[in-house]
Each structure stands twice: as structure tokens, then as C-alpha cells.
């Protein structure tokens, strides 16, 4: 097996789990590929930071029981890795197939390929009138809001609506009926997405998954007020403005913040 292929698996482990013991990654990869030796794996690991596209993997040795592979994004802000470990549930690591692990080849896990995500994206297009780019950004916003909800113990729906307000294009969701449907689809997506906070488990696979607050605004007037922005900010694409959309190059970073190129994320 080529060193580059091993490096791809190593980085996918870090991106999928957020943080995973080196020993588990080594044992699993060698189990999948018996031709890989411990020496080859350790050589790749020692040099991975210098490999193209692998700078977002951090090898942590201090303050942990054993060396861990960590998604580099957890080190973007002081103290965030420690907070992540505090929130992470004490579970065994979920066992996943090589095919599933390799799908997570980006620093950000944007799960556009599961049916529940596709259902939410379709609703954003057919019921909310968003174009393909806008619907993709809406899904990315939901994923981000749900992660923040776990940190802050605040309704992910309200966090999502606040994100819409910061964009500044006016209300996207205009009725509580549509918002309830959007919430239900978002909750289904949450239940069926592997979570780094759950060591790779999908919440639906657990007997008692962590509760995800999903309170709604008390009225349609409040719903519209929450979304009404006054300052256009970084991602005007959510409005479906084709002139703005055309400013995004196929190889530019995706405006949803996934870390992927636009053509491999919301633009596909």
C-alpha cells in the first residue's frame, strides 16, 4: 500500500472522529490492509504534517493517556480542544467501514450524502425557494447550529435563525408551519449523522442520545423579526442572487465554511 493511501486513511480518521488514539487507527488500518506494517504506518505518521493537504492533522502527545490524531480545526482557538474533550461522551469508538471513513476527507464534516441531509436540502429548494447554492448553505448552517447547540445548550433552530439574520437578506422562512417541517427534517439529519461528540456514533444508534434543544419562536411575527437583518455579511449567496453566485469560482473555497473547494461541496 502506498504511503499516500495510508496518509489519506490517517487524515480521514482524524476528520471523522475529531480525535482518535493512534493505536486504534493503526490497528484498524492494518486490519483492513495486512500488507501495511507497523513500521510503515509509524513512518507515514511521523511525516504526515509535511505531506500535501495533510497539515490539518495534529499529533497530540501531551495531556492525553496515549498519542492521539486530532482534527487540526480543534486547535484554531485557544482551549477549544479541552472543551471538546469535556463535552465528548464516554463511549467506545464506533466501528465504521473503510469506505465510510474515507468519505470524510475534509477538515470539516459536511454530510451532504446521507438521505436525511438530501431531504432537508430538497425542502429548502422546493418549499423555501432557495436555489442549489442557497440550499447547500442552509444545510451547512444547520450543521453548524446543531454543533453550537450542543456547546451552548440553546435551541439549534434559534441559532440557525440568528445566522440567517447575520446574512442580512431578509426572512427565508416565513411561516411557523414551514419552520416546524424544517426543524423536523433537521432533527432527523442530526439523529443519522455520525457525531464527533459521540466518538463516531450516530445519535439514533444510542439508547439515550444527547438531547438537542429545538425550541421555536413563539409567533410568526417573532420568526420574521429574528431573521430580519440590516447588514449584509459574508455569504449573500443564500438569497439565491445569481449575480453573487457567479462570483464563486469552482476551485474557490466554499462559502459555507466547510474547508472544501466549492465544486466539491455546495456547488456540486
- Within 10 angstroms of residue 76's Cβ, the number of other Cβ atoms is 11
The C-alpha atoms of residue 93 and residue 214 are separated, in whole angstroms, by 27
Could you read off the pLDDT of 92-104 as tens digits, one per residue?
999 999 988 888 7
Q: Phi then psi for 70, rounded to 5 degrees?
A: -130, 135
Could you read off the pLDDT of 208-267 as tens digits, one per residue?
888 899 999 888 888 888 877 543 333 333 333 433 444 455 566 555 545 556 556 555
8, pLDDT greater than 70:
yes
Q: How confident is the model at residue 2 (pLDDT cuts 50, 70, 90)?
A: very high
Residue by residue, DSSP assigns 123-139 as HHHHTT---HHHHHHHH
Spatial contact of 59 and 69, defined as CB atoms under 8 Å apart:
yes
Amino acid at each position: 500500500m502506498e504511503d499516500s493511501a495510508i496518509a489519506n486513511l490517517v487524515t480521514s480518521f482524524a476528520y471523522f472522529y475529531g480525535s482518535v488514539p493512534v493505536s486504534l487507527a493503526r490497528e484498524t488500518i492494518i486490519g483492513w490492509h495486512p500488507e501495511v506494517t507497523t513500521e510503515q504506518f509509524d513512518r507515514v505518521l511521523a511525516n504526515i504534517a509535511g505531506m500535501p493537504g495533510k497539515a490539518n492533522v495534529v499529533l497530540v502527545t501531551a495531556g492525553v493517556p496515549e498519542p492521539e490524531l486530532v482534527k487540526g480545526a480543534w486547535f484554531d482557538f485557544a482551549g477549544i480542544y479541552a472543551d471538546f474533550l469535556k463535552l465528548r461522551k464516554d463511549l467506545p469508538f464506533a466501528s465504521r467501514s473503510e469506505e465510510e471513513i474515507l468519505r470524510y476527507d475534509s477538515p470539516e464534516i459536511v454530510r451532504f450524502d446521507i438521505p436525511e441531509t438530501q431531504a432537508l436540502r430538497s425542502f429548502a429548494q422546493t418549499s423555501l425557494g432557495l436555489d442549489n447554492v442557497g440550499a447547500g448553505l442552509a444545510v451547512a448552517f444547520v450543521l453548524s447550529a446543531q454543533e453550537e447547540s450542543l456547546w451552548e445548550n440553546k435551541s439549534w433552530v434559534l441559532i440557525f435563525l440568528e445566522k440567517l439574520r447575520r446574512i442580512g437578506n431578509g426572512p427565508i422562512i416565513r411561516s411557523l408551519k414551514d419552520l416546524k417541517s424544517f426543524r423536523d427534517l433537521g432533527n432527523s439529519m442530526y439523529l443519522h449523522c455520525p457525531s464527533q461528540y459521540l466518538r463516531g456514533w450516530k445519535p439514533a444508534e444510542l439508547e439515550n442520545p444527547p438531547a438537542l434543544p429545538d425550541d421555536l419562536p413563539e409567533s410568526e411575527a417573532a420568526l420574521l423579526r429574528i431573521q430580519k437583518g440590516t447588514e449584509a455579511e459574508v455569504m449573500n449567496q443564500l438569497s439565491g442572487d445569481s449575480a453573487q453566485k457567479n462570483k464563486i469560482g469552482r476551485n474557490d473555497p466554499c462559502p459555507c465554511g466547510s474547508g472544501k473547494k466549492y465544486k466539491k461541496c455546495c456547488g456540486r
